[in-house]
Structures are given as C-alpha cells and as structure tokens.
Amino acid sequence: MATIQQKELQKLYSSATGGFDDEELERAVADSERIMRGPAGLLLAQAGLDESTAQPFALLDNACGTGPIVAHLQDHIDKKLLSESKIVCADFNANLVDTLKRRAFKYDWVNVETAVGDAQHSDFPAQSFSHVTINFAMHIIPKPEAVLQDTMRLLKPGGVFAFSVWHKDTKGWTTDMRSCFEALPFDAPMPDPLPMAVHGKLQWTDPKGVEEELKAHGFENIQVKTVPHVVHVNGAEDYLRSYTMMKDWMIKAYWSEDSKKKAQGMLDEHIVKHLQEKHNGEGWDLSWTVILATCQKSF
C-alpha cells in the first residue's frame, strides 16, 4: 500500500508541466535538468552509452520524465548512429510524456519514440531492448522489485540496466526548506532526515542494498557507485521556483489543516525573505549524493 507521502508526490508529478506555455515549459525543464542532467550523463557513461559508442542500440528510458537521458544522448551521440538505433521514452505521467514530445519536436531530436506506460509492468515485447535506463525513480516507484522483473524480461541477453537514485544521506534542497519551515510562527513539520526512499524500502537508497537487490533478481556484472553532485542556486527566488513542488509535497504530506490555513498568502514571501537573509542575498550550492547502478542480463 502506498504511503501518504508517496501518494501526494505522485499527484504532484501527475500535474507537472500540464498546461504550460512554451516559456513556462522551458523554465521548468531548465530547472529540472540543472538537477538531473549531470547524473544522467554519468549514468549513461557507466552504461556504455557515450561519445565512444559505435554500435547501434535499442534503449528504453523508463520513467523518462521530461527527458534528461534522451537529451544527453542527443547531444553526445553521433546523429547517424542515433538514426540507426531505437530510443523509446516511457512514463506513467502523460503530461511529462507530452513535454518530452514537445522538446523532441522543437530540438529535432533523432529517432525518439514515446509511450505512456508503467515501468512495473510494461507492454513492450520481451527481449526488445539492449539497454533500459531509469533516472531517479527506483526510490519512488511503489514496487521496484516489479521493475526489476519486467526489466529482466525486456532486456536482450547481455543487455544493460542502468538507474540512479538519491543516496539516503542526501541533503540537496531539504536543509534550506527545513530552515524556512522552522522559522515560521506556527507548526510546520518536516522529517529530519527526510527519507529518500519514498516508498519506504530503505535498501533502494543504500549502495549495499541496491547491490543485494540486483543480485537477488539475477543480474550480473553489477556496478554500484556513489558520487557527489552539486547544484548551484542563483538566489532565494530561484530556489523557490526550482523546489516549489517539493515545498508543496511537504505541506500536503505532513502539515495539519490548521498549518495549511495559516500559511496561505504568506509562505512564499516568507521563504524568499528567510533565504535572502540566510545567504546574504547571494546564490549558494546544494550538495547531493547520487547512487549510480549498472548491471547486465546474462548471455
């Protein structure tokens, strides 16, 4: 059964980018890619999909979001090789799939197909992909073990599965949000630390736990790496815009109705003012920790 935190986050993702005009969409995608794009590149390199790639491939990017994986591929893989390969981007969120379609059309991405689907039980044929990627979702998807089972079915013999998750000790946006909440004149709860495993399965945010799960499901040549990731924030307004969904998630998942009422009409202004004072009106860096995992289906 999904937790209330999981349900509320899924609701927010379901409405993400819906109805945005081109300018709003560009801004939202830029904010997302500032966080996601760097790790996406590292993950693809670990999976063997980078500038050195010479053979055509068949990639399923599951839980694709707005497309940081495919955007990185389009920027770093030879266009002729892309035209000879197969790239399918799938997500359960139709709004995000539509956003990716709009990006693909605007930037003339090569050979990109899209689908709305669930990574836990997809409709794609067995043994149809040489690579499957999932960028920052295995700690959120309700049944990650079902994803492993379906991925094993989808991969060709020797195929590569690659995914990223946030490490259990990641701070990222949470430290500043908690500071803002603690400065409010009413109860504004936020877990400390905030569990990175939204589905409650803590092994998915621990390197050893990730490795054990992959072994248990029959994957081979497992590589699990922990890497630092720094994201710069230009200022208080930039922080608020970039992490508004996280703010809304905390409120919906943890606050009382009384606290929600007290926050109406004042919270955003409070956050900006508090962070301007905290960081002396300047930008600052957010420190994240990423787990990158790659493995193979046996030949």
- Please give the average pLDDT of every successive group of 10 residues along the chain, which has 299 residues: 62 59 76 92 97 96 96 96 98 92 94 96 97 97 97 98 97 97 98 93 98 98 98 97 94 96 98 98 98 97
List of residues 6+ apart from 111 with CB closer than 8 A: 82, 83, 85, 86, 87
Q: What is the pLDDT of residue 14?
A: 59
Report the DSSP beta bridge partners of residue 247.
Answer: none
Phi and psi angles of residue 243, each rounded to the nearest 5 degrees, phi first: -120, 25
Q: What's residue 16's pLDDT?
A: 56
Q: Could you give the CA distance from residue 137 to residue 197 in angstroms, rounded to a whole number?
A: 10
- CA distances in angstroms from 182 to 177, 187, 196, 218, listed in the order given: 9, 8, 20, 46
Contacts of 221 (CB under 8 A, 6+ apart): 294, 295, 296
Question: What pLDDT score was predicted for residue 4?
Answer: 65
- Tell me the C-alpha distance between 105 and 236, whole Å: 33
CATH code of domain 8-169+197-233+284-296: 3.40.50.150
Q: How far apart are CA 95 and CA 18, in angstroms?
A: 5
pLDDT at 240: 97
pLDDT of amino acid 32: 85
Strands (E), 99-219: 112-116, 129-135, 155-166
Looking at residue 172, what is its pLDDT?
97
